[in-house]
Amino acid sequence: MSDLESLREAMTKHGATKHPRWARLADWASARLEKSEPRDALDGSAKQAAAVRWLSVEGEADPLDVPRLFAAFHGGVRSPVAAARVKRLALRKDPRVVSGLLALLEAPPFRAGTALPFFRACLDALVASKDVRARVGLESLASRYKSIVDSSIGEVIAGHCARAAAKLAAVTEPELSADDERRLGELERNFEVERRSSEATTREASRAKQSDDDLLSAIYANPDDDGPRLVFADTLSERGDVRGEFITLQVRRAAGQGTLEALAREQELHSDSKRRAAWSLPLSSAGDCTFRRGFPSGVMLTARNTKAVVGVPAWATVRSLALPNGVSGKTLRALVDHPEMARLVRVTNLTADNRGLLGEAVRRWREVAMDFRYDEAVPEGLADQFPDVTALTLRTAGPVTATALSRFTKVEALNLALPWAFKDLDWLLTLPKLTHLRLTGVPLQSLAPGLLARLRLKTLGAHLPEAADRLEGVSVDVLDLGNSRGDTVARACSAVERVRKLSLSSSYPAPLVKAALPVWTAKQGLELVRLNRHQSLERHGAGWVLHSEFATLQLDRGKHGGEDVGLVGLAAVPGIEKVVLEPLHPTPLSRASPPPTDEELGVLTAAWGARLEQVNVNPRLLALSLEVDPLA
- Is 63 in the same domain as 167? yes
The string of DSSP letters for 458-478 reads: SEEEES----GGGGTT-EEEE
pLDDT surpassing 90 at residue 375: no
Give the residue-averaged pLDDT of 539-546.
Answer: 94
- Is 123 in the same domain as 251? no
Domains identified in the chain, total number: 3
- Is 146 in the same domain as 55? yes
Name the pairing type of β-strands 543-549 and 535-540.
antiparallel
User: Residue by residue, what is the 3-state secondary structure of 14-30?
Assistant: HHHHCCHHHHHHHHHHH
Please list, in sequence order, all residues whose beta carbon lies within 8 angstroms of the beta carbon of residue 194, skipping any fewer than 6 positions away.
28, 31, 32
- Is 44 in the same domain as 166? yes
Q: Which of 174-178, 442-446, 468-472, 609-613 has the lowest mean pLDDT?
A: 442-446
Give the structural domain span for 64: 39-176
d(CA 86, CA 104) in angstroms, rounded, equals 10
Final residue before a domain boundary, out of 149, 176, 203 = 176
**Confidence band of 552 (pLDDT split at 50, 70, 90):** low
pLDDT surpassing 50 at residue 14: yes
- Is 123 in the same domain as 231? no
Residue 626 falls inside a structural domain: yes
Amino acid sitting at position 135: R
- Give the residue from 181, 180, 191 showing the smallest Cα distance to 24: 191
pLDDT tens-digit readout, 387-410: 999 999 999 887 788 888 899 999
Please list, in sequence order, all residues whose beta carbon lies within 8 angstroms of the beta carbon of residue 580, skipping any fewer than 6 positions away.
545, 546, 547, 548, 613, 614, 615
Final residue before a domain boundary, out of 143, 176, 209 = 176
pLDDT surpassing 90 at residue 34: yes
**Confidence band of 556 (pLDDT split at 50, 70, 90):** very low
Residue 456 falls inside a structural domain: no
Which of the 8 DSSP states describes residue 65?
Answer: G
Which of the 8 DSSP states describes residue 369?
Answer: E
Share of the chain above pLDDT 90, in %: 78
pLDDT surpassing 90 at residue 175: yes
Higher pLDDT, 594 or 609: 609
Final residue before a domain boundary, out of 176, 209, 239 = 176
pLDDT tens-digit readout, 600-613: 889 899 999 999 99
Please list, in sequence order, all residues whose beta carbon lies within 8 angstroms of the beta carbon of residue 398, skipping any fewer than 6 positions away.
372, 373, 374, 375, 376, 377, 378, 419
- Give the residue from 242, 252, 307 showing the smallest Cα distance to 276: 242
In this prediction, residue 559 carries a pLDDT of: 56
In this prediction, residue 45 carries a pLDDT of: 94
User: Residue by residue, what is the 3-state secondary structure of 225-255?
Assistant: CHHHHHHHHHHHHHCCCHHHHHHHHHHHHHC
Helix intervals (H) in 151-225: 152-167, 178-188, 192-221
pLDDT surpassing 60 at residue 266: yes
Q: Which residues does residue 396 pair with via DSSP β-bridges, in sequence order?
A: 372
d(CA 454, CA 467) in angstroms, rounded, equals 17
Higher pLDDT, 21 or 199: 21
Give the residue-averaged pLDDT of 58-70.
Answer: 96
Q: Which residues does residue 536 pair with via DSSP β-bridges, in sequence order?
A: 530, 547
Q: 3-state class of 540 per DSSP?
A: strand
Residue 118 falls inside a structural domain: yes
- Is 43 in the same domain as 152? yes
pLDDT surpassing 70 at residue 251: yes
Residue 419 falls inside a structural domain: no
282 upstream amide cis, omega within 30 of 0: yes
Residue 514 CA: distances (Å) to CA of 481, 521, 557 = 17, 12, 19
Give the residue-averaged pLDDT of 274-294.
Answer: 94
- Is 150 in the same domain as 266? no
Looking at every residue in the chain, the average pLDDT score rounds to: 92
- Is 116 in the same domain as 61? yes
Residue 462 falls inside a structural domain: no
pLDDT tens-digit readout, 210-227: 888 999 999 999 999 999
Residue 250 falls inside a structural domain: yes
Give the residue-averaged pLDDT of 124-149.
Answer: 95
pLDDT tens-digit readout, 407-437: 999 999 999 987 655 667 888 999 999 999 9
Give the residue-averaged pLDDT of 250-267.
Answer: 95
pLDDT tens-digit readout, 295-351: 999 999 999 899 999 999 999 999 999 999 999 999 999 999 999 999 999 999 999
Specify whether the CB–CB gap between 320 and 297 falls below 8 A: yes
pLDDT tens-digit readout, 458-499: 999 998 888 999 999 999 999 999 999 999 999 999 999 999
In this prediction, residue 555 carries a pLDDT of: 55
- Is 239 in the same domain as 150? no
- Is 170 in the same domain as 231? no
d(CA 9, CA 313) in angstroms, rounded, equals 45
pLDDT surpassing 70 at residue 40: yes
Residue 410 falls inside a structural domain: no
- Is 54 in the same domain as 168? yes
Residue 443 falls inside a structural domain: no
First to last CA, the chain: 70
